[in-house]
Each structure stands twice: as structure tokens, then as C-alpha cells.
Amino acid sequence: MRYDMIIAGVGGQGILSIATVIGQAVLERGWRLKQSEVHGMAQRGGAVETHLRIADGEIASDLVPKGRASLILALEPLEALRYLPWLAADGRVVANLATVENMAHYPDSAEVYAELRRLSGCLLFDAAELARQNGGAGAVNMAVLGAAASCLPLSVPALEAAITARFQRKGAAVVKGNLAVFRAAAKLAEAHAYN
Amino acid sequence: MSSDRRLLLADEAIAQGALDAGLSGAYAYPGTPSTEILEYVQRQAPAGVHCEWSANEKTAYEEALGMAYAGKRALVAMKHVGLNVAADPFVNSAVTGVNGGLVVVAADDPSMHSSQNEQDSRFYADFALLPAVEPSSQQEAYAMTRHAFDLSEKMRVPVLLRLTTRLAHSRADVTPAAPRAQNALALPDDPRQFVLLPANARRNYAALLAKQPALRQAAENSDFNALTEGPDQSVGIVACGLAINYVREACDGAPCPHPILKIGQYPLPEELLRRLAEKCRTLLVIEDGMPFVEARLRGVLPHGWTIRGRLDGTLPYAGELTPENVARALGKPAAVVRAASALVVPRPPGLCAACPHTDSFLFVKEAMAEHPGGRVFSDIGCYALGALPPLEAIASCVDMGASITMAKGAADAGLRPAVAVIGDSTFTHSGMTGLLDAVYEKSPITLLILDNGTTGMTGGQISLGAGRLEAIVRGLGVEPQHLRVLEPLKKNHAANLKALREELAYQGVSVILSQRECIQTAKRR
């Protein structure tokens, strides 16, 4: 078993939380993991990405080689496009629709959406709206994770247990909100026919 | 697999390795990509293990050296440029040697993800005649830390542990070993060991030189240096630190066809290199950082060998190793990958919404617009982002503390007004002494200390001068009537602008303390 993915977003959007949840589930499963993160200056609103590699044996590089990612999971649509050279021929993209236009010359969002929708295996959805509707407005990242759950080599209960572990110290209400958002997004993805 | 497996950054694996090796104290100043080392010790250390931040890397280093003097194990961690700040104690501690174990962690940042240069700390170890270790994985980072303490105590010298950003900030499963106890307090046998008067220093230096063959032998025999056979001897590979991972990745699970020497411990294992060279007339050196081994290899091998790497362009001189550039260097055909999207534009970092620095820069910019010949010299921290649009408010960002001293030098040259902008933590790191220079000479400079009460860029660590900056500035001799304290808020803009204008007109040292809490630390409370 070998699964490579990239989690992308803008500094401060919570991509490390997604990686932590997946990492916890991988550890519980008894598999190996390498997870290359971005810390420091870029976390101040810059482009940030996590390379996440899961395997049942030895993993060599900390970085996913180009063309090898089975999944790009993005909290921002332009950040999904940024990592296209890493996406495998049969790879999938799960991306939040909401743009973060914190720099000059942000492209026309309609063009960004159109390019993403042209990819086979792309799910583009309003994660913020879904999070709001399910009582976890702060859980946009869990919405994106939930929508990608069926792509991952991990079971939904295993991911749910990891979410519970991740948010436990923030209290039962936070755990409940994150789980509700995760489940609603997983359900939405089930109904989605990948083109 | 052991149930004790945990997911750790290499930074955290080093910290856990140090704790399990019987650490008594960790010392550091925050700096990407090294910050997580001390943060982990702060979260995990048992009571009684020192783990508070220091004012800068030099004070941190000397405190660690003091702990090693007292016979206990100390770790000091910094980013690569922090070792410049601590270079004085680093080089001299090679001459004193240690009593308890001392491990110096330098986290280098090739590709300059969060830094102003790509310097390679292995040169420092070589320069100071000290051994160094360089991990290839998180598990090795864990094991190497204890090994470095053992080597330090056996050879009685500090040991450098060098890693790069990619490993420092990558997480993997690590299985820890059984912890061991701390050392007891034990003073050096020789009272002259740490007294580097010339007569003592000459004797100590001779002893350090005499240790070199044993240090080299330790590297030749180290489990972290390994020569592996391979049938294809058209090229032999030298892979330092994490480079071995990219070589394995390029082989995609198959054994590497070439003989390969993995290097994880220095000084350079010259015998192992010669053994590799006996098989292969062409050697490819792969190292993350500068061509340290590649350049030295030319002195180890006679003429007639071809040495490839960053110096001959087989790998780029600048920037970190990647799976792609290593595969290319190994002659693998490039993978066919999707084209980059034409829509993608860079997304540089910027100051947070509602950041107090923005409000400070807005009145600084407005005041400086009235002085086209003036300049604002800045420093290392979030406020360096004031160089980017839309603010474009600063003329320099060079090294910790350089805002004040460069403003003073420019004022010496006749530049008016010469303004310095520095954060509170950078001021107590390396700004105070420069301010004293300016006070002594009554230099016409205006210093703004952007006091957000924290070390912001690295994630909000403690700022040692918090609550004491006014007293420090007054104590350095700044005239009380030219020390202003203000709050950078939109509603205070006019009053703040007026205060700055008045101080810009003063032909002596003025200090404006612009005080408002970092928006990130405020949010967390």
C-alpha cells in the first residue's frame, strides 16, 4: 500500500490540522508516514502545502515526487491549481470553492473554477457553507477532509476517531461540530459523481 | 511495531532524543526551522530540565556551555544564521572542550524558505575542528542525538548536529529507546580547562588537534556512515544526510545499482571515500546545502577522478535537493507530469489583518513622504514584510539588530532622517548594544521599537524584554523627553504622526515605543 497526497491552502487555514488527523489514523493503522510541512514565514498568509505520504513499508523521500500524488486536497481553489504538476494521471482533487484573494493579480475566479472542473476526478464545493450549515463554522478544513474521505486509504470510523482525538482538549462541543461537518461532507461526496 | 511509536518532526525527534539521553538543559532563541526543538522540550520535559528561551543564540550557547562545565548534558538549538551570532562561543568551546555533553543543533535553510541566506553549518564544524552529525530521517535524528551526547562526553568536545528544513519540518513515526538518567553535578578536573589565557589556550588547542585522528576514526567507524556495494561502477554516489532518501526514491524501491556511501558523521570519513573511489572513477556527491563534501573530496582523491555535484552543475548550486533534481543527476528520465497552470501566481506572505505593525508603518510612511532623502532601515521579523506592496516602507532587512546600527552608519554618512524599525524581541536579541553606540555619539537617528510583546514570526514565543523596554531604553541613556510611548491604532494615527514628525526633527537619538499586542497572540487568549 502506498498513497501520496498534497494538502494545500493559505497560511492560517488549518491544513496542519488535516494532516494531524490523517497522521493519527495512519499511526493507529500501524502504517508508516512522512509528512513534510511548511512552518515559518509562509504561515503569514502565504501559500502553504503539506506533502503527506502513507505506506505499509519504508518511505524514502519526505517530498512527494511530481506526478505521484493520488490526491490534492485544497482549502483554496488557486492553491489546488498550484500543485497540478504533482497530481498523478488518475489523481483526484477535492477543493474548497472560496477564494482567498490576499495578493495582487488574483486571477478571475471563474477561470480558476473552469480549469479545476476540466480535470477528471475533481470535486469543487463550498466547504465554508457546508461547515456553517452543520454547526461547525470553524471546521472548513474538516469539511474538505470529509469530502475526500472516500479517496483515502483509511476508513471513515478511523478518521472520526482521529478527529475526536485531535479536538478532545478543546471540549465536547468542538469535537461534535467537527464530526458533524466531516460526516456531512463525506455524504455530499458520496452523492458526487466524479467526472 | 512498537506501540510507543509517535509522529514527530525531526526537530521534535531531536528534542525527545536529548530528553531520553539524560538532558539537563535546553537553550535556544526561536528561529525557523529550529524553533520546534525547544518548544517540544517545554511541552515534554520533566520538572527540573531547563527549557526557557534565551535572549539570543550567543547567550543560549554560553548558558549551555556553563551547564556542560558543571558536568551536565546541555543542548543548544538555533537556525543556521543563529550560529553566526553564537560563532564566538562555538569556536572557543572547541578549545575549552566540555565536561558534560554539549550538543549544538543548527537547522540550515537551503532554498531560504524563511531566511536570508543558504549558509551550510558543516563549514563551521570543520572550521572549529569539531565533529558533526547529519541525520537522514526522523528516527536517525532521534538516535543521533544520543550518539552525539555520547561522542561529546567521550571526546570531551561539543558536537554539532546539522539538519536542513526539509527534515526539520517533516514528521514521521519514531520509536524511542529507553531513557537514561541525567548526569550529577561534577566540576572539571583541571581548573585551567576553561581559562583561555594564551598559555592555556595553546595547550588546549594542541590537545584539540591531537584529538582529530580519533574524531576521524570515529567517523570512519560510525554506524551512520555506510558503504553499500552496487554492480554498476560507472559512478559511485556520496549521499550526505537526507540525500540518501532521494536516491532511494529515484530507484523506486529497487536497490541502488551504484556503490553508495551514505554520510551521517563528520569529519569526512576519508578512508571510506577512498574505498568508494577504488571502485569508481566518477563520483557523484549529493548534499543538501553547499558543496562541502564535494569541494573537500578534491583534496582527498588524486587527480584523474571525475567529481560531479553542485560545483559542475550536475545539481544546481543554489536551493534544496528535491526528488526531481536528484533523479535528474542520477540520469533518470524525467517523469511526464501535468503542466503547471497558467493561472497560478505567487502568493507571498504578508502582515495579518489588524496587525499593529501595519498601523505603525502607515504613520511612518506618511511622515517619510515628507523626507524623500530619508530612509527606513528595518530588521528581522514580521515587520520585514513591510517591504512588500502595498506598504513598501523599508529600505533594509539584513541581520538581527542591523536596523539600528545601519541607520547610525547612514546618519554618520550624512543621511537625514535615518530611521530604524525593529521588533521588541529583535531589540533585546541584538539591538540594545547598537543603541548604546548611537547614544554615546548622540547620533541623529529615530528608532521605532514595534513592541507587540512577543516573538511573532516564529509563532509567538516569549519576548524577554516584555514590560521592561522603557526601562531598558532609559537605562541605555536615551533622553526621557525623546522616549515616546504610543499605541498604533487607526484612531491614534494623527497623534502618532505628529509625535514621529517631532522626533524626526530632533538631531539626536529618539526612541518611539509603538506598543500593541500581536494580533495572533491576542486571538489565542
Same domain, B271 and B148: no
Structural domain contains residue B334: no
Cβ neighbours, 10 Å, residue B180: 13
Q: Can you give the CATH number for the domain in which B196 is found?
A: 3.40.50.970
- Tell me: do B375 and B319 sit in the same domain: no
Question: B245-292, pLDDT tens digit by residue?
Answer: 999 999 998 999 999 999 999 999 999 999 999 999 999 999 999 999
Contact between B170 and B164 under an 8 Å Cβ cutoff? The reply is no
Q: What is the domain count for chain A?
A: 1
Tell me if the bond preceding B269 is cis, omega within 30° of 0: no
Range(s) of the domain holding residue B119: 6-221
Same domain, residue pair B212 and B301: no
> B96 and B11 in one domain?
yes
Tell me the C-alpha distance between A102 and B327, whole Å.
36
Q: Is residue A129 within 8 Å of residue A158, measured between CB atoms?
A: no
DSSP string, chain A: -EEEEEEEEETTS-HHHHHHHHHHHHHHHT-EEEEE---SGGGTTSEEEEEEEEESS----SSPPTT-EEEEEESSHHHHHHTGGGEEEEEEEEEE------STTPPPHHHHHHHHHHSTTEEEE-HHHHHHHTT-TT-HHHHHHHHHTTTSSS-HHHHHHHHHHHHGGG-HHHHHHHHHHHHHHHHHHHH----
- Within this chain, do residues B179 and B237 fall inside the same structural domain, yes or no? no
Q: Is A168 exposed, middle or buried (0-12, 13-18, 19+ CB in 10 A)?
A: exposed
Q: Is B313 left (phi over 0), alpha (psi -120 to 50) or beta?
A: left
What is the pTM (predicted TM-score) of this model? 0.97
The whole domain housing A37 covers: 2-191
User: What's the domain count of chain B?
Assistant: 3
Per-residue pLDDT at A155: 96
The answer to the question of residue B342 being in a domain is no
Domain boundary among B221, B247, B274: B221
Nearest CB neighbour to B167, from listed A62, A85, A102:
A62
Q: Which of A9-18, A64-73, B266-275 has the lowest mean pLDDT?
A: A9-18
Residues of A in contact with B352 (CB under 8 A): 12, 44-45
Please indicate, yes or no, whether residues B76 and B156 belong to a single structural domain of this protein: yes
ipTM: 0.95
The mean of the pLDDT values for chain A is 94
B88 and B131, same domain (yes or no)? yes
The chain A residue lying nearest B388, using CA atoms, is A103
Total Cβ atoms within 10 A of residue B319: 14
Q: Which residues of A touch B5 (CB under 8 A)?
A: 27
Phi-psi region at A55: left, alpha or beta (left = phi > 0; alpha = psi -120 to 50): beta
C-alpha cell belonging to residue B222: 560510525
Domain end position, chosen among B174, B206, B221: B221
Nearest beta carbon to residue B172 from set A30, A34, A79:
A34
CB proximity list for B176: less than 8 A, separation 6 or greater: B4, B6, B16, B17, B20, B142
Query: Which CATH number covers residue A101?
Result: 3.40.920.10
pLDDT tens-place string over residues A133-175: 998 888 999 999 999 999 999 999 999 999 999 999 999 999 9
Of B312, B329, B346, the residue that ends a domain is B329
Closest CA to A60 of A22, A32, A87: A32
Give domain status of residue B347, yes or no: no
Q: Give the E-state strand segments of B10-149 in sequence order.
A: 23-28, 73-79, 102-108, 132-133
> What pLDDT was estimated at residue B1?
43
**Residues B210 and B312 placed together within one structural domain of the fold:** no
Best of B1, B6, B338 to disrupt the A interface (most A CBs within 10 Å) is B338
Cell (9 digits) for A8: 494545500
Classify burial at A174, counting beta carbons within 10 Å of its beta carbon; exposed 0-12, middle 13-18, buried 19 or more. middle
pLDDT at A193: 63
- Interatomic CA distance for residues A46 and A149, integer angstroms: 26
Same domain, B209 and B130: yes
CB < 8 Å to B35, chain A: 39
B84 with B189, same domain? yes
Residues B210 and B310 in one domain: no
Average pLDDT per consecutive 10 residues, chain B (525 residues; last block may be shorter): 81 98 98 98 96 98 98 98 98 98 98 96 98 98 98 98 98 97 97 98 98 98 98 98 98 94 98 97 98 95 94 98 98 93 94 96 98 98 93 97 98 98 98 98 98 95 97 98 98 98 98 97 90
**Residue in chain A nearest B320 by alpha carbon:** A63
| CATH number of the structural domain spanning residue B307 | 3.40.50.920
Residues B138 and B215 in one domain: yes
Of A62, A81, A85, the CB nearest to B337: A85
Note whether A11 and A43 are within 8 A (CB): yes
Segment (H or E) for B68 = helix B57-69
Query: CB–CB of B323 and A104 under 8 A?
Result: no
